[in-house]
Chain A
Amino acid sequence: MPYVLVSPYFLLFAAFGLFPLVFTLYYSLYDYDLAGTTEWAGLGNYAELLTDEDFWNAVVNTVGMFFLATVPQMLLALMLANALNKRFRFRLAIRMSVLLPLVTSVVAVAVVFTQLYARDWGLVNWVLGWFGVDPTNWRAERVPSWIAIATMVDWRWTGYNAIIFLAGMQTIPRDLYEAAAIDGASRRRQFWQITLPMLRPTMIFVVLNSTIGGLTLFSEPTTFYNGNVDGGSQGQFQTVAMFIVKQGFREFDYGYAAAAAWLLFLLILIGALVNFLFVRRIGGSK
């Protein structure tokens, strides 16, 4: 009976997790053209990828956008969580409301942000114009496009992470703060010396989660360019996930796309490991 009860998860995992994993691994070793032939390629796809400028461009974009999005997002989420952790009126309503951006559809978010960042008639350029800044072509220049996409990502995920941080903060025993207060520790000091170190397990979860999300970024940059996976005229903001879709479903090079998917998997593993080691050190050594 217990096996039956847990089986739905494993069945779904087998269908949507394990099978695609094995399937992509298998086809990453082939030259598999959807509207053509399938030929054994060995590690040829991988070798080709490692010398493919477009692939590396996508890697740089993905990592760049990940940093631009994640660092401010973590800081903001922490500040937000800290603020929400106090006593005030309508606390529950306000706490829930930070989750609102998450429940809006990505497409709706992207449509609004695409308008905000429009070159000719966008709000952002209009406001920047007050300060004498020339209109920026947010889709043509690399770093501006990353910033635009990073704000889109942060708009959606900051609240979500803040709520997780908040949950973590509430598990910290109150008497630690009381003892610190008696010893004369300021609010700020309490935050650095108690909240942050005690929050480490939560932080590891949040950071790993953001790493996976950030490195597989797809919807925001795609909708930012008319649903086109090229990511700008010269791939200014094409992420690895978009590169995979482009190779697999635009150029029908399934084998190549499958190999890229496996390299992305490796990239995520590395990213997760680095971040894990980094977060483990926070507030720990003293």
Chain B
Amino acid sequence: MMISKRRGPLAAASALAAAALAVASCSSGGGTSSNASGAPASSAAAEPVTIRVQTFGSGSNFGYKKAIEKWNAEHKDIQIKEEHLTDQFEQQYWPQMIQWLQAGNGAGDVVGIDEGGMGLAKAHPEWWADLKEYGLESRKADYPAWKWENGVTADGKIFGLGTDIGGMSLCYRADLFKKAGLPSERDKVSALWPTWDDFIKVGQQFQSKVKDTKFTDGTNTLYQVYLYQEAAKNGNVTYFDKDNNLIVDKNPAVKNAFDFASKMSQAGLTAKLRNFTDEWATGTQKGSFATVGCPSWMLGVVSGNAGDDAKGKWDVASVPGGGGNWGGSWLAVPKQSKHPKEAAMVADYLTNAETEASIFSTFGNMPSNTKAQQDPAVQGAKNEFFNDAPIGEIFAKSAASLQPVFLGVKHAQVKNAIESVVQGMDDGSVAYDKAWQQLVDDAVKAAG
């Protein structure tokens, strides 16, 4: 009970209440959890199995809504229930998940893991059910080698099936670009910024015309975009080398990305919002910023946060400085699941070519499944929300050539520490000239 509530007596009272609840639930329980979500109980000879799928992320996140509705309509015996836990992966979802996995209780039957957590997940084979036992080794052919291998532990256990991959673009508000006297048509916008220096120049031009909207959301999103681009030029590593040594101060990718973030912030182009917070989501909806760095899965985040009213205002252009591979997730089945077989079926279904392709066309998360990538429907997909942007052309073409970026076991903690400094420099709590040193110090601390 380290999280003590305010007031001694109240805490005692709530402990009492909690104890009473625990006793009550012990006596009434007994069976396995069987929350038949809205399924008609009339035919209930066999109770349907409920598979809890736990996800994270902002906006439409994994984009499973339709796929789950479809499955639930077709499978009366296995019902999927999505539990979207939080927007934030490193700060909330993953620490909570680690506790559940370690405690052997609490995690869903299928859980989403962001790339930042895969290093640690791989290092703990005891957490996961082996999907080989459920015949999913055959899925190997569906994935690029790196995406597949990241879901296999050192001792050969298959635990994670790839969902989406990064790919890189820049989402922008065409209406605001027009207001600033800039071209608003996507090819012309892409032509505005072949390099990041050009991007900052465009930003200054934009800012001189438009006062109440900032050019971009904050420092962190484009810092990440830049970092992943630079990582590709520096051996595909960011904060850790492949032996899990911290290299924040040695990897030029980190310094370059930091310098870019600092430059953007000092030029006054940022709305100073931290990505994946409520204020940032509100900012998307209210039009606090005109651009945001967009890996494929960010499209669904933007459209989900902005709401239907913003339909057609947003568009997608190419990103300065070339491609990159930020993000992408996996689905895994924790060992503690009581229905590993059904959970494996669900994980298989949610990552198969058909599902991933349909998620791409609706929300934008680029499939990691190569069969889905080659699907003509994916290649030719347009995104209605983003003014019918040809997202298939933008993402699918480069998908095959994307390089995996290695992330260390403690990546999630270090990322959070670093982003706090990159954000702090933007919101004024860290001086620009001291920020780099603090970034390195905090990273060392978080890794230790």
Cβ A35 vs Cβ B124 within 8 A: yes
Contact with B along A217-231 (1 / 0, CB 8 A): 111000001111110
Smallest CB gap from B102: residue in A: A34
8 intermolecular pairs with C-beta atoms under 8 Å apart: A35-B98, A35-B102, A35-B124, A140-B424, A140-B427, A140-B429, A228-B92, A232-B429
- Interface check B211, CB cutoff 8 A: no
Cβ A20 vs Cβ B279 within 8 A: no
The one of B87, B120, B413, B428 in contact with A140, judged by C-beta atoms closer than 8 angstroms, is B428
Q: How far is the CA of A233 from the CA of B279 in the complex (A)?
A: 14
Cβ A141 vs Cβ B99 within 8 A: no
Q: How far is the CA of A232 from the CA of B272 in the complex (A)?
A: 13
CB-CB < 8 A to B86: which residues of A?
227
- Interface check B398, CB cutoff 8 A: no
- Interface check B15, CB cutoff 8 A: yes
Smallest CB gap from A218: residue in B: B3
CB-CB < 8 A to A159: which residues of B?
none
CB distance from B109 to the nearest CB of A (A): 21
- Interface check A170, CB cutoff 8 A: no
Cβ A137 vs Cβ B92 within 8 A: no
CB-CB < 8 A to A261: which residues of B?
2
Cβ B279 vs Cβ A118 within 8 A: yes
CB distance from A52 to the nearest CB of B (A): 9
Smallest CB gap from B6: residue in A: A213
Smallest CB gap from A233: residue in B: B424
Q: How far is the CA of A142 from the CA of B428 in the complex (A)?
A: 11
CB-CB < 8 A to A35: which residues of B?
98, 102, 120, 124
Cβ B420 vs Cβ A121 within 8 A: no
Cβ B92 vs Cβ A227 within 8 A: yes
- Interface check A234, CB cutoff 8 A: yes
CB-CB < 8 A to B421: which residues of A?
233-234
Contact with A along B410-441 (1 / 0, CB 8 A): 00010010001101100111100000000000
Quick check: which of B48-56, B133-141, B145-153, B280-288 contacts chain A, the rest being far away? B280-288
> Using a CB-CB cutoff of 8 Å, which residues 14-36 of chain A contact chain B?
15-17, 20, 24, 34-35
CB-CB < 8 A to B413: which residues of A?
250-251
Cβ A114 vs Cβ B7 within 8 A: no
**Interface size bracket, A side:** 35 or more
- Interface check B245, CB cutoff 8 A: no
Contact with B along A111-154 (1 / 0, CB 8 A): 00010001111000000000000000101111000000000000
Cβ A234 vs Cβ B420 within 8 A: yes
Q: How far is the CA of A183 from the CA of B413 in the complex (A)?
A: 70
- For chains A and B in complex, what number of residue pairs have CB atoms within 8 angstroms? 114
Contact with B along A23-54 (1 / 0, CB 8 A): 01000000000110000000000000000001
Smallest CB gap from B283: residue in A: A120
Cβ A218 vs Cβ B429 within 8 A: no
CB distance from B85 to the nearest CB of A (A): 11
- Interface check A180, CB cutoff 8 A: no
Cβ A212 vs Cβ B7 within 8 A: yes
Cβ A213 vs Cβ B7 within 8 A: yes
CB-CB < 8 A to A234: which residues of B?
420-421, 424, 429-430
Known: A141-B429, A228-B92. A121 touches B120 (CB 8 A): no
CB distance from A106 to the nearest CB of B (A): 8
Q: How far is the CA of A249 from the CA of B424 in the complex (A)?
A: 23
- Interface check A12, CB cutoff 8 A: yes
Contact with B along A142-180 (1 / 0, CB 8 A): 100000000000000100000000000000000000000
Smallest CB gap from A16: residue in B: B15
The one of A114, A120, A216, A249 in contact with B288, judged by C-beta atoms closer than 8 angstroms, is A120
- Interface check A252, CB cutoff 8 A: yes
Quick check: which of A75-83, A88-96, A187-195, A240-248 contacts chain B, the rest being far away? A240-248
The one of A118, A233, A249 in contact with B95, judged by C-beta atoms closer than 8 angstroms, is A249
CB distance from B86 to the nearest CB of A (A): 7
> Using a CB-CB cutoff of 8 Å, which residues 5-44 of chain B contact chain A?
5-9, 12, 15-16, 19
Top 7 nearest A-B pairs by Cβ distance?
A: A140-B427, A233-B424, A213-B6, A234-B429, A233-B423, A234-B424, A216-B4
Cβ B6 vs Cβ A20 within 8 A: no
The one of A227, A233, A245 in contact with B2, judged by C-beta atoms closer than 8 angstroms, is A245
CB-CB < 8 A to B6: which residues of A?
157, 212-213, 216-219
- Interface check B192, CB cutoff 8 A: no
CB distance from B87 to the nearest CB of A (A): 8
- Interface check A209, CB cutoff 8 A: yes
- Interface check A257, CB cutoff 8 A: yes
CB-CB < 8 A to A230: which residues of B?
91, 416, 420
CB-CB < 8 A to A227: which residues of B?
86, 92
Residue from A140, A227, A234 having most chain B Cβ neighbours under 10 A: A234
CB distance from B372 to the nearest CB of A (A): 33
Cβ A121 vs Cβ B286 within 8 A: yes
CB-CB < 8 A to B120: which residues of A?
35
Smallest CB gap from B271: residue in A: A120
Cβ B282 vs Cβ A121 within 8 A: yes
CB-CB < 8 A to A61: which residues of B?
none
Residue from B19, B98, B427, B446 having most chain A Cβ neighbours under 10 A: B427
CB distance from A55 to the nearest CB of B (A): 12
The one of B3, B95, B102, B424 in contact with A241, judged by C-beta atoms closer than 8 angstroms, is B3
- Interface check A73, CB cutoff 8 A: no
- Interface check B277, CB cutoff 8 A: yes
Smallest CB gap from B96: residue in A: A249
The one of B8, B12, B87 in contact with A209, judged by C-beta atoms closer than 8 angstroms, is B8
Q: How far is the CA of A142 from the CA of B424 in the complex (A)?
A: 12
Contact with A along B244-272 (1 / 0, CB 8 A): 00000000000000000000000000001
> Using a CB-CB cutoff of 8 Å, which residues 366-425 of chain B contact chain A?
413, 416, 420-421, 423-424
CB-CB < 8 A to A217: which residues of B?
6
CB distance from B112 to the nearest CB of A (A): 18
- Interface check A70, CB cutoff 8 A: no
Q: How far is the CA of A230 from the CA of B446 in the complex (A)?
A: 12
Cβ A226 vs Cβ B278 within 8 A: yes
- Interface check B335, CB cutoff 8 A: no
> Using a CB-CB cutoff of 8 Å, which residues 94-148 of chain B contact chain A?
95, 98-99, 102, 120, 124
CB-CB < 8 A to A251: which residues of B?
413, 446
CB distance from A241 to the nearest CB of B (A): 7
CB-CB < 8 A to A258: which residues of B?
2
CB-CB < 8 A to A62: which residues of B?
none
Q: How far is the CA of A230 from the CA of B423 in the complex (A)?
A: 13
